[in-house]
Structure 1
Amino acid sequence: MRPLEDVRIISLEQYGAGPFGSLHLADLGAEVIKIEEPRSGGDVGRYVPPYADGGDSLFFEAFNRNKRSLSLDIATPGGREVFEDLVRGADAVYSNLRGDVPQRMGITYGALKHLNPRIVCCSLTGFGMTGPRAAEPGYDYILQGLAGWMDVTGEPEGPPTKSGLSMVDYSGGFVAALALMAGLHAARRDGVGTDCDVSLYDTAVSLLTYPGVWHLNAGYAPARTRHSAHPSLVPFQVFETADGWIVVGCAKEKFWRRLAAAVGRPEWAEPDSPYGTFARRTERAGELLPLLEEIFRSRTAARWLALLTPAGVPCGPVNTVEQALAEPHTAARDLVVETDHPRYGTLRNLASPVRVGGERPSYRRAPRRDEDAGYVLREVLSYDASRIAALRRDGAFGPQEPAR
Structure 2
Amino acid sequence: MAFALDHLTVIDLTQVMAGPYCCQLLGDLGANVIKVEPMGTGDATRQATGHRLPHGESAAFLAVNRNKRSIALDLKHPGGRDAFYRLVRGADVVVESFRPGVAARLGVDYPALRAHNERLVYASISGFGQTGPYAQRPGYDLIAQAMSGVMSVTGDVDGDPVKCGVPVADLSAGLFCAIGILSACLSREKTGQGQAVDTSLYDAALALSIWETAELWATGQAPERLGSAHRVNAPYQALPARDGYLTIGANNERLWQRLCTVLDRPDLVADSRFVTNTDRVRRRAELAAELGVTLRERDVDDWVEALLEAGVPAGPIRDYQQSCEDPHTLAREMVVELDHPTEGRVRALGIPVKLTQTPGDIRRPAPGLGEHTDELLRAMGCTGEEIRTLRAEGAVG
Structure 1 54/387 Cα, relative in aligned 2: closer, same or farther at 3 Å?
farther
C-alpha contact (below 8 Å) 1:55/1:368 kept by paired residues: no
Aligned to 1:382: 381
* Separation in 2, partners of 1:182, 1:108: 20
RMSD: 1.8
Shift in Å at residue 55 of structure 1? Answer: 7.0
* Separation in 1, partners of 2:237, 2:361: 38
Shift in Å at residue 360 of structure 1? Answer: 4.9
Aligned to 1:83: 84
Shift in Å at residue 285 of structure 1? Answer: 3.1
Shift in Å at residue 348 of structure 1? Answer: 0.9
- Map of 1:40-79 to 2, 5 A cutoff? 41-48=41-48, 49-51=50-52, 56-79=57-80
C-alpha contact (below 8 Å) 1:248/1:316 kept by paired residues: yes
* Separation in 2, partners of 1:197, 1:70: 25
Aligned to 2:94: 93
Look up the equivalent residue of 2:243 and give its one-letter code.
Answer: D
When normalised by structure 2's length, the TM-score is 0.95
Structure 1 193/296 Cα, relative in aligned 2: closer, same or farther at 3 Å?
same
Aligned to 1:344: 343
User: SS at the partner of 1:204?
Assistant: helix
- Map of 1:167-178 to 2, 5 A cutoff? 167-178=168-179
Structure 1 155/166 Cα, relative in aligned 2: closer, same or farther at 3 Å?
same
Aligned to 1:396: 395
Aligned to 1:313: 312
C-alpha contact (below 8 Å) 2:71/2:371 kept by paired residues: yes
* Separation in 2, partners of 1:286, 1:7: 52
* Separation in 2, partners of 1:188, 1:288: 55
Shift in Å at residue 359 of structure 1? Answer: 5.5
Paired positions, count? 394
Aligned to 1:186: 187
Query: Is residue 264 of structure 2 the alignment partner of residue 264 of structure 1?
Result: yes
Aligned to 1:244: 244
| Identity fraction in percent | 39
- Which structure 1 residue ranges, 4+ long, deviate > 4 Å from structure 2? 52-55
**Cα deviation code 1:118-156 (max 9, x no counterpart):** 001100111111112111110101111111111111112
User: SS at the partner of 1:156?
Assistant: coil
Structure 1 340/52 Cα, relative in aligned 2: closer, same or farther at 3 Å?
closer
* Separation in 2, partners of 1:333, 1:171: 22
* Separation in 1, partners of 2:76, 2:53: 28
Structure 1 120/299 Cα, relative in aligned 2: closer, same or farther at 3 Å?
same
Aligned to 1:230: 230
* Separation in 2, partners of 1:142, 1:53: 32
* Separation in 2, partners of 1:302, 1:213: 35
Gapped regions of structure 1 (runs ≥ 5):
399-404
**Cα deviation code 1:193-215 (max 9, x no counterpart):** 11111111111112111321331
* Separation in 2, partners of 1:173, 1:356: 20
Shift in Å at residue 314 of structure 1? Answer: 0.8
* Separation in 2, partners of 1:55, 1:12: 24
* Separation in 1, partners of 2:213, 2:351: 30
C-alpha contact (below 8 Å) 1:46/1:55 kept by paired residues: no
Look up the equivalent residue of 1:301 and give its one-letter code.
Answer: V
**Cα deviation code 1:24-78 (max 9, x no counterpart):** 1000000110000004x10011122221578731111100111000000111100
**Cα deviation code 1:352-398 (max 9, x no counterpart):** 2122225653321111111111221112x021112212222222115
C-alpha contact (below 8 Å) 2:234/2:280 kept by paired residues: yes
C-alpha contact (below 8 Å) 2:57/2:343 kept by paired residues: no
Aligned to 1:331: 330
C-alpha contact (below 8 Å) 1:72/1:79 kept by paired residues: yes
Look up the equivalent residue of 2:141 and give its one-letter code.
Answer: D
**Cα deviation code 1:169-190 (max 9, x no counterpart):** 1111101111111111112321
- Map of 1:297-308 to 2, 5 A cutoff? 297-308=296-307
User: SS at the partner of 2:348?
Assistant: strand
User: SS at the partner of 2:199?
Assistant: strand
Shift in Å at residue 163 of structure 1? Answer: 1.0
Aligned to 2:203: 202
Shift in Å at residue 278 of structure 1? Answer: 0.9
Structure 1 191/359 Cα, relative in aligned 2: closer, same or farther at 3 Å?
closer
Look up the equivalent residue of 2:307 and give its one-letter code.
Answer: L
* Separation in 2, partners of 1:392, 1:99: 29
Shift in Å at residue 108 of structure 1? Answer: 2.9
- Map of 1:122-201 to 2, 5 A cutoff? 122-201=123-202
Structure 1 358/293 Cα, relative in aligned 2: closer, same or farther at 3 Å?
farther
